[in-house]
Amino acid sequence: MDQHGKYRALVTAACVFIAGSVSAQSGACRQALALGLDVSSSVDRDEYRLQVDGLAAALTAPTVATRILEGPDTPISLFVFEWSGPGMQRTIVDWTSITNRPTLEAIAGTIRSQDREMLGDAVDHSTSISTAIGYGIAAIGDQSHCWKRTIDISGDGKHNTGGDPRAQRPALTRNAVTVNGLVVGVDSPRGGDIRQLEIGELSSYYNTIVIWGPDAFVETALGFSDFERAMRRKLLRELAAPVFGSLQPGTTPGETQIRNE
């Protein structure tokens, strides 16, 4: 074996040792993932149905389920909530450690059981992305044992009430939390299909105002009918295993240096 081969072998062995040591820690988890679903006034009952059914289907899709369930000693911890205005955030699935298929199926069933009418007419249906991120930060605060901590914000519009979403960035940095986005292009009844234009504009907005942290990214859906495909693609990307070679010296998974890409 040449010198390069010996080096690669040593690095691989070290990574396996580190992974095993961290996995053996009591209560270890490889990722805390908080998924926030948009229930603002722009989302009607049919679109809401496509959104919740799409999320449930994406979570249980074979490729995604396999990724979620790999490494049962260091499972994924999942939290699902709905958001709109400053006065409206609702937890659908509280933090659940997913160690087997029945647990994943039960989560999907809970998500599918939701109904847009459950929210009521008195709910604030404006769009406060800042409050949604803040709700995710508060929820993810007790998941410090997880290697990665991620908040997902799905939405079909720009922030229009409450504080600037960028004001949440110091708290995100302190808590080593990454924010990813999923933007949805919506049909215009009078102007025809303008989803591609909307997606380009909204993606740019999310890239500038919303997402934050290491490897943060924006996924896109061409309407709510495309939500399942987009969510499945996004989950596969963000549930990728931590790359030990990217760790800063002296850190463990979940303690990587925060930076804005």
Distances (CA, A) of 170 to 60, 165, 210: 34, 11, 13
Q: How far is CA 140 from the centre of its chain?
A: 11
Q: Is residue 99 part of a domain?
A: yes
Q: Is residue 240 part of a domain?
A: yes
Is 14 part of any domain?
no
Residue range 83-105: mean pLDDT, rounded? 95
Predicted local distance difference test score (pLDDT) of residue 29:
94
Q: What is the pLDDT at residue 10?
A: 37
- Total domains in the fold of the chain: 1
Domain membership flag for residue 17: no
Establish if 116 belongs to a structural domain.
yes
Q: How confident is the model at residue 120 (pLDDT cuts 50, 70, 90)?
A: low
Task: Supply the pLDDT for residue 160.
Answer: 84
Which tens digit of pLDDT belongs to each residue from 52-64? 999 999 999 999 9
User: DSSP characters for the chain?
Assistant: --HHHHHHHHHHHHHHHHHHHHHTSTT-EEEEEEEEEE-STTS-HHHHHHHHHHHHHHHHSHHHHHHHHS-TTS-EEEEEEEE-STT-EEEEEEEEEE-SHHHHHHHHHHHHT--GGGG-TTS--S--HHHHHHHHHHHHTT-TTEEEEEEEEEESS---SSS-GGGGHHHHHHTT-EEEEEEE---BTTTB--HHHHHHHHHHHIIIII-BSTT--EEEESSGGGHHHHHHHHHHHHTSPP-GGGSPTT--TT-PPP---
pLDDT of residue 169: 97
The CATH number of the domain where 225 resides is what?
A: 3.40.50.410
Burial 165-181 (b: 16+ CB within 10 A, else e): beebbeebeebbbbbbb
CA separation for the pair 24, 13 (Å, rounded): 17
pLDDT of the residue at 121? 55
Each residue's pLDDT tens digit, 18-74: 333 333 344 789 999 999 999 998 898 999 999 999 999 999 999 999 999 998 789
Range of the structural domain that residue 69 is part of: 28-246
Q: What is the mean pLDDT of residues 73-85?
A: 95
The reported pLDDT for the residue numbered 252 is 35
Predicted pLDDT of residue 191:
54
pTM of the model: 0.80
Query: What is the residue-averaged pLDDT of the chain?
Result: 81
Answer yes or no: is pLDDT of 245 > 90.
Answer: no
- Classify residue 66: in a domain, yes or no: yes
- Burial state string for 215-224 with b = 16 or more CB within 10 A and e = fewer than 16: bbebbbbbbb
pLDDT at 99: 95
Convert the pLDDT of each residue in 177-219 to its tens digit.
999 999 998 755 455 555 566 788 899 999 999 999 989 999 9
Is residue 12 situated within a structural domain? no
Domain membership flag for residue 16: no
Residue 240 identity:
A
Q: What is the pLDDT of residue 90?
A: 93
